[in-house]
Amino acid sequence: MKPSLWLFPAVAVAALNNYDLQKPFTTDFDTIPLLGFGTWNLTDKSNASEAVSAALQVGYRHLDCATIYGDQKEVGKGIADGLNKTGLKSHDPHLVPEALNQTLSDLGVEYLDLWLMHWPVASSQGVTKLDYLDAWHAMETLHKSSKLRHIGVSNFSPAQLRHLIESSDTKPAVHQFEAHPYLPQSDWIAAHHDQGIAVTAYSPFANTNPVYKPSDDDPPFLLTNTDMLAIGAERGCTAAQVALAWGMARGTAVIPKSSHVGHIKENFAAFECKLEDGDLDRIDGLSEKYLKRFNNPSEGYGVKLFEGLEDS
Could you give the residue numbers annotated as active site? 69
Q: How far apart are CA 278 and CA 272, in angstroms?
A: 18
Looking at beta carbons, which pairs linking 157-162 to residues 24 or more positions away fall under 8 Å? 157/120, 157/305, 157/306, 157/307, 157/308, 157/309, 157/312, 158/188, 158/191, 158/307, 158/308, 158/309, 159/307, 159/308, 160/120, 160/130, 160/132
Rounded CA gap, 299 and 79, in Å?
A: 35
How far is the C-alpha of 154 from the C-alpha of 135, rounded, in Å? 13
Helix (H, G, I), strand (E, B) or coil at 119: strand
Q: Are 248 and 35 in contact (CB under 8 A)?
A: yes
Find, among 297, 302, 301, 300, the residue nearest to 312 by Cα.
297
* Close Cβ partners of 65 (under 8 Å, ≥ 6 residues apart): 8, 9, 10, 11, 39, 71, 72, 75, 107
Helix (H) or strand (E) holding 281: helix 277-284
Backbone angles phi, psi at 113, to 5 degrees: -70, -35
What is the distance between the alpha carbons of residues 46 and 53, in angstroms, rounded to a whole number? 13
What is the Cα–Cα distance from 177 to 73, expressed in whole angstroms?
A: 24
Cβ neighbours of residue 221 closer than 8 Å, sequence gap 6 or more = 206, 207, 208
